[in-house]
Every structure is written in C-alpha cells, then in structure tokens.
Amino acid sequence: MWTLFLVQLSNWRWSWPGMVVTGMVAPVLTLAAMGVFAKESGGQAVHQVFVGSLTLALLFETQNKVANNFAFMKFNDAFDFYAALPVRPQALIVATAGAFTLLALPALVCTTLFGVLILGLKVSLSPLVVPVVLAVVLPFVGIGAWIGSRAKNPEEAGSLSVLCVLAMVSLGPVAVPAHLLPDFMVWIGWVNPAFYASSLLRQVFFGPIDGATAGYSGVLLGCLLLMWVLTSKRIAGFGGAAGS
Amino acid sequence: MGDGHVVYEIREVTKRFPGAERPANDDISLTIEQGEFFGMLGSNGAGKTTLIKQMVGLLRSDSGSIRLFGKDVLADPVFTSMRVSYMPQTAFALNSLKASEALYVTAHLRGLGRREARRRRDELIERLDIGGMRDKVVRRMSGGERRLLQLAVALVADLPVLILDEPTNELDPARRRMVWDLLRELNHEQGQTIVLITHNALEAEQVIERVGILREGRLVAVGRPAELKSGLAKTLSVHLTLRDGTTAELPDYLEVQSRHRGKVVAQVSRTDVARLTSDLDLDEFLEFRLQSKTLEEVYFEYGN
C-alpha cells in the first residue's frame, strides 16, 4: 500500500503545472471576481464565495486529476501491469485517494490564504478541519476514479471530468448562497455532493458545527461508498478478468 | 527442451470480444513444459496477445480452461502473479517514475525486501546496460529505452515463468542481440520457462525450441521449428545475384519468385539441387546461395 501510495504521489512530477493553474490560479481568480459582487450581498455571500472557491480547487485537484490518472492507467494498460503483480485493486484505489489528497493540500492552503487576504475574512478554524477535509475530498476522488475507469479514452475522461467539476460548482448553493438562487437550483443542490462539501467547509471555517455537520458528512460518506462499489467493480481484476 | 513437467495446460480456450466478427481465440489447446522456450507467431490481430493475457489471468476465457502448474489461473490470482512475470506489449505503467525507481518499486511490489530489491535493481541495470537512463523519468524515454526498462521490470523478481509480448520491438540490433542472449541465458542456465510473442521470426529462430503459429484466432501449427520446416521442405530457396550486364539463362525447373536489378529469388525442388549446381555456371553470379526454409517462411506459410 505504501509503495503504491509513493508511486501515485510521483504524479506530482507532471501534475504540478496543472495544480498551479486549476488548483490555485482559477479558484483565486474566481473568489476575487465573485468576491467583489458578494461583498454587496453581505457576509454570508462572501463566506459562500470563499468555500465555493475552495470546493472548486479541491474538485480540480482531486476529482479531475484522479479521473485523468485512472483514464491514463486504463489506456496504458497500467491496470494490467498491476493485475499481473500481487496487488489488490482496492489497494490501488486507497493509495490513489491518499496520494491525490496530499497533492491537493497546496491548492487548498493557497486558496485559503488568498481568500482570507482578498476577501478580508475572519476565520475561526474548527479542530474538525482535518476529518471534514477528508470527508470532502474522498468522495471527489471516488467520482474521479469512477469517471476515469468508465471513460472510453483519456480525452473523454478529461472533458467529462471538467464538465462535471463546472456543473458541480454551478448547480446549487456551492459558490452562491441559497437565498440568491432560484428555488430549482437550490433543490438541485440536494443531489450535488459539492453542495454538501461547501456546506461542511463553511461550517469548519466559520461555524457553527451542529447536527447538520454530521448529516452532511453522512451524505458524503454514502457518496464515497457508492463510488467505491462502482469503481471497485469496474477495475476488479484490473484488466477485466472479472468482467470480460 | 522442457523437462516433462507441465507449466501451462491450455484446453479448448475460446475468447470472443463483444461485437467482433470472429473469436479472438478459437478452441486453442496447448501444453507448455517447464524449462521450455516457446514462441508465438502470427500476424497482427491473430489473437496472440489475447491468449497470453488469458494465460496471465488478465482476461477470462469464454470457454475452456488454462491451468498453471495444475491450478486454474483465475482461481487464485496471487498464485499466478507469484509465478508468472509478464511484460505487456503496450506503453509502460510507471510513467511518472525514474527507471531505477520503477525497478525498485516493482521488486518491492513483488515482495522483495528493500535490500534485495536494491540488489536486483542494480544487477539488472548493469546486465541490460541501462545505467545511462537510471535517473531518467519513464515518460521522457525513447521507445527502445522504455522497452528495455519494461523487460528489466519483468525480470526483476526472478519468477519461474516469463511471458513477454514482443520484447525486442523498437530495439536497435545490438540491444536486440543482447536481449536474445539474456533470454537464452535465463532459459538455459536458470531454467526459466519463457513464452514470447515476436514478429522477428528470423532472430527468434536462434533461441526458441517450440513455436505456435496463430491465424485468425486459431492455433494452426505447433511444434519445433525444425519439424515445422521439414513439413515444408520439399523445396529450397535459391538466391542469385548476377554480375553487372550479364543475363544468365536459368533452368526451367527453377521456379522464379522475383527478379529485380540482377537479384533473383527462386525455389528449387530438393531433387533438382544436384543438377542445378552443375547446370549453372557459378562464375556468372556474384552471389549464389541455397537456403532451407527459415522460421519466417514457415510463419508466412502457416500464418497467412
């Protein structure tokens, strides 16, 4: 597991330029641009723009990167390579999740620091920040693994994943507070994991931690389990011994 | 030659991919013995890679069975992966690693301890003469470099069975020779059973003991190269190169296959060889070469 984790961590060698653009520059620009308007709509809107930008950074750095990584592995026969070794597919998924979570941290820290500076925020960070970030990130990794393992080719995985990131940030109260959205958008948000992710991030950065925190975490855990089952089935036997 | 102990027992294996017009493998039966050097030949799409993927347990057959040392290859994937080392045909998995890291990591994933993994890494780097690319990231390597590294990765754990899919593709002649020498050494001196796919029948002929030829998913011939050649050996190939400006009269029992810029390739019946050498004035030719069938010609005969 540790060796696989290190192998997946080595993806920083190619992924860091992308991390700077999609994990740092894009979220910071988003929060800078939207923050201008959000300040006129009150503190809640500013908080929402901030956590929405964090969600965007995490989606790009986990879901999008994992989708690309899995699609690349699938079409370079990496799954066959690992399947020919005494390695379990689940170990590869866990190692991937761990590595890409770690690789997402610079983007998270950078967006947080710039967000606080640009928007002039006062944060009261909860000690629950670590488990909450994990609860947010792991379902994103799962969705990325599922997209990457299903895509017909890496190009399709990249396009689908970016579309998915943009849809998840746009649909529902993720970067825009619920009271500024039409009702149907708010309703759509209830089936969007990014809504629960941004809500949890808002709670750990600005409070309050309450019953909703557990509820939102539960929904994300359910999403994670669903993605685990779907992706494990998809790559069971890696190269397809189980399925084809 | 094998020592009589069966490594692979393949029985009536059929594999069809969804939407395909014909099966990729059609009712293939084959036995490979311990210590054998077995080659698989066939044109592109003949089903060679599909067959070895089933032998490694990466694909499930639609029907039939594949047993490795008496055990179904899919029944216990760990059993298979601890005995068979597989070098795939396509791009490399560990693209973000340096060559030395890829070797070390694979050794480690195969269960070698740190010290042993480092020792095997250094040994293979030296044996395959790839020290120059030790610190090169895989995705920046040329096709040939990547191929050598793939081979090194497949050899890192010293398992009893090696399955190699086109191991000499993209290699320059010197490195191809080095790889064939290494494989011969592993087979002869360490007794490793080697199964390989290659399109280079002429080079493979120097090392393989038995060959299987696939055509459109079916195993159309299997046997020792000499046996297969003897089945086609009613004629010999004649290669002639005429001196500039000369036009030699060729006997009519010579079946000319091609004639171009003074070079003639023809077939002659074994029974006519004696009179051919007396009928021709050999001084008229820059080159006169008689050759029995090569494995490549056997491959053309059966595989196309």
- Residue A22: what pLDDT? 81
Nearest to A127 by CA among A29, A28, A205, A43: A205
The tokens for A168 are 């998840």
Domains parsed from chain B with CATH numbers: 6-229 (3.40.50.300), 232-303 (3.30.70.250)
Is cis: bond before A177, omega within 30 of 0?
A: no
Quote the CA–CA distance of A23 and A14 in Å, as a whole number: 14
Is B106 part of the contact surface with chain A (CB cutoff 8 Å)? yes
Is B220 part of the contact surface with chain A (CB cutoff 8 Å)? no
Q: Which residues from B are below 8 Å from A89, CB to CB?
A: none
Q: With an 8 Å Cβ cutoff, are B93 and A76 in contact? A: yes
ipTM for the predicted complex comes to 0.75
Among chain A residues, the shortest Cα distance to B74 is held by A241
Which 3-state string (H, E, C) describes A107-122? HHHHHHHHHHHHHCCC
Quote the CA–CA distance of B196 and B173 in Å, as a whole number: 18
Q: What is the mean pLDDT of residues A115-121?
A: 88
* Nearest Cβ partner for A85 among B59, B81, B96: B81
Is B143 part of the contact surface with chain A (CB cutoff 8 Å)? no
Using the 8-state DSSP alphabet, how is residue B58 labeled? Answer: S
Residues 67-96 of B with CB under 8 A from A: 74, 77-78, 81-82, 84-86, 88, 90-96
Q: What single string gives the DSSP state of each residue in B37-68?
A: EEEEEE-TTSSHHHHHHHHHTSS--SEEEEEE
Q: How confident is the model at residue A244 (pLDDT cuts 50, 70, 90)?
A: very low
Q: Which residues from B are below 8 Å from A7, CB to CB?
A: 94, 96-97, 105
Nearest to A53 by CA among A194, A159, A214: A194
Nearest CA to CA, how far is B260 from chain A (Å)?
A: 43
Nearest CA to CA, how far is B59 from chain A (Å)?
A: 4
- Residue B299: what pLDDT? 80
Q: Which residues from B are below 8 Å from A77, CB to CB?
A: 88, 90-91, 93
Quote the CA–CA distance of B5 and A243 in Å, as a whole number: 32
Residues 6+ away with beta carbon under 8 Å from A82: A89, A92, A238, B93
Phi-psi region of B159 (alpha: psi -120 to 50; beta: other; left: phi over 0): beta
- Per-10-residue mean pLDDT for chain B, 304 residues long? 79 93 93 94 90 92 94 89 88 82 92 92 92 90 90 91 91 91 92 91 85 92 84 81 78 86 86 86 84 80 72
Q: Which residues from B are below 8 Å from A240, CB to CB?
A: 58-60
Q: Are B134 and B125 in contact (CB under 8 A)?
A: yes
Quote the CA–CA distance of B254 and B5 in Å, as a whole number: 46
Domain positions in chain A are 2-235
Nearest CA to CA, how far is B96 from chain A (Å)?
A: 6
* Nearest Cβ partner for A83 among B17, B58, B91: B58
Q: Are B106 and B140 in contact (CB under 8 A)?
A: no
The tokens for B139 are 């995705």
Quote the CA–CA distance of B245 and B265 in Å, as a whole number: 18
- % of chain A at pLDDT higher than 70: 95
Q: Are B59 and B71 in contact (CB under 8 A)?
A: no
Q: Are B55 and B66 in contact (CB under 8 A)?
A: yes
Q: With an 8 Å Cβ cutoff, are A83 and B59 in contact? A: no
Quote the CA–CA distance of B22 and B152 in Å, as a whole number: 35
pLDDT at A140 > cutoff 90: yes
Using the 8-state DSSP alphabet, how is residue B137 labeled? Answer: B
Nearest CA to CA, how far is A50 from chain B (Å)?
A: 33
Is B25 part of the contact surface with chain A (CB cutoff 8 Å)? no
Give A87-102 pLDDT, tens digit per residue.
887 888 889 889 999 9
Q: Which amino acid is at B235?
A: T
Nearest to B14 by CA among B56, B47, B38: B47
Nearest to A83 by CA among B33, B95, B55: B55
- Rounded to a whole number, what is the largest CA-CA distance in chain B? 71
Quote the CA–CA distance of A115 and B65 in Å, as a whole number: 61
Q: With an 8 Å Cβ cutoff, are B90 and A14 in contact? A: no
Q: Which residues from A are below 8 Å from B77, CB to CB?
A: 83, 86, 237, 241
Query: What burial letters (b/e) apply to A16-43, b meaning 16+ CB within 10 Å?
Result: eeebeebbbbbbbebbeebbeebeeeee
Q: Which of A25-39, A62-76, B85-99 has the highest mean pLDDT?
A: A62-76
Q: With an 8 Å Cβ cutoff, are B77 and A237 in contact? A: yes
- Bigger pLDDT: A178 or A36? A178
